[in-house]
Amino acid sequence: MITGKTKLLGLIGHPVGHSLSPLMHNAAIAHLGLDYVYLPLPVKPEDLPVAVAGFAALGLVGFSVTIPHKQAILPFLSEISPVARAVGAVNTVWHTGSGWAGTNTDVEGFLAPLLACNRDWSQTSALILGAGGAARAVVAGCAQLGIPVVRIVGRHRHKLEAFQQSWVNSPVPVLATHTWEELPQLLPQSSLLVNTTPVGMYPKVDEMPVSASDMAALPTGAIVYDLIYTPNPTQFLKAASSTGAMAIDGLEMLVGQGAAALQIWLQQPVPVAVMRQSLRLHLGLPT
């Protein structure tokens, strides 16, 4: 029940109507029996300054940040975590008493299912498809795992060069960039393949970033990770599983980044299984 004492959390973005975050966070809050509520808060780009000032006036405990504000929020923060600086984007903000602090929990979310795998990451070579915002969190995650070689595949040389250049002063592993034509040569040496493009996402569920026949070239024991969570699994992950690779879907990253954010706001352990189950039920997936 919402009362005059209920503490406020939320998600800013534009649009936010499609987001599954309110469902996941409110399920965890209800499970913990806490007097908090997590609200979708649509904020147009031009309204960001007045919205952030308003959040301080309203006493929000914290908020999630999604497209298009993940970079635009940086000037409003008095503290930015090293991981958010490395990624160049913030997805979680909280009030410190003297101002707003921000971090990026997408990295922790990306890592959550990988840390459950028993792997020697120093012997792993990662291939990342796409060079957008999510790819930045994936690169930072690979660096945290100690993966020595990370290769990025993208469509445009100039964007790939800018992406590579942006990591020059960060503690990331060897970062090489390639175009899609080079994929057949890269797959046999890639024991971790990550799709960060929207190819295969609902409604274009029949599309795949890599053909099933090309995927057969992956080394034995490869991990194939798709950041997409609708559909679940994607055609890409179905093809990966049929070649014997270990498939990881984007729902685990969504749950992991949300759990890490909620833990920051509540300052206590959060029920990750409840968050996962709320999403799986909503998406009609087995729980």
Q: What is the closest distance, in whole angstroms, from the C-beta atom of residue 195 to ligand NAP in the complex?
A: 8
Q: What is the closest distance, in whole angstroms, from the C-beta atom of residue 169 to ligand NAP in the complex?
A: 21
Closest to ligand NAP by CB, 13 or 130: 130
Please give, one letter per residue, the 3-state secondary structure of the chain: CCCCCCEEEEEEECCCCCCCHHHHHHHHHHHHCCCEEEEEEECCHHHHHHHHHHHHHHCCCEEEECCCCCCCCHHHCCEECHHHHHHCCCCEEEECCCCEEEECCHHHHHHHHHHCCCCCHHHCEEEEECCCHHHHHHHHHHHHHCCCEEEEEECCHHHHHHHHHCCCCCCCCEEEEEEHHHHHHHHHHCCEEEECCCCCCCCCCCCCCCCHHHHCCCCCCCEEEECCCCCCCCHHHHHHHHCCCEEECHHHHHHHHHHHHHHHHHCCCCCHHHHHHHHHHHCCCCC
Is 70 noted as a catalytic residue in this protein?
A: yes
Closest to ligand NAP by CB, 22 or 109: 109
Q: What is the closest distance, in whole angstroms, from the C-beta atom of residue 57 to ligand NAP in the complex?
A: 30
Q: Which residues make up the interface to ligand NAP (CB under 6 A)?
A: 106, 109, 130-135, 154-156, 159, 196-199, 201, 227-229, 250, 253-254, 257
Closest to ligand NAP by CB, 88 or 148: 88
Closest to ligand NAP by CB, 28 or 134: 134
Q: What is the closest distance, in whole angstroms, from the C-beta atom of residue 226 to ligand NAP in the complex?
A: 9
Q: What is the closest distance, in whole angstroms, from the C-beta atom of residue 75 to ligand NAP in the complex?
A: 20
Nearest in space to 25 (alpha carbons), one of 54, 64, 60? 64
User: Annotated catalytic residue: which of 5, 7, 44, 70?
Assistant: 70
Closest to ligand NAP by CB, 125 or 226: 226
Residues with catalytic roles: 70
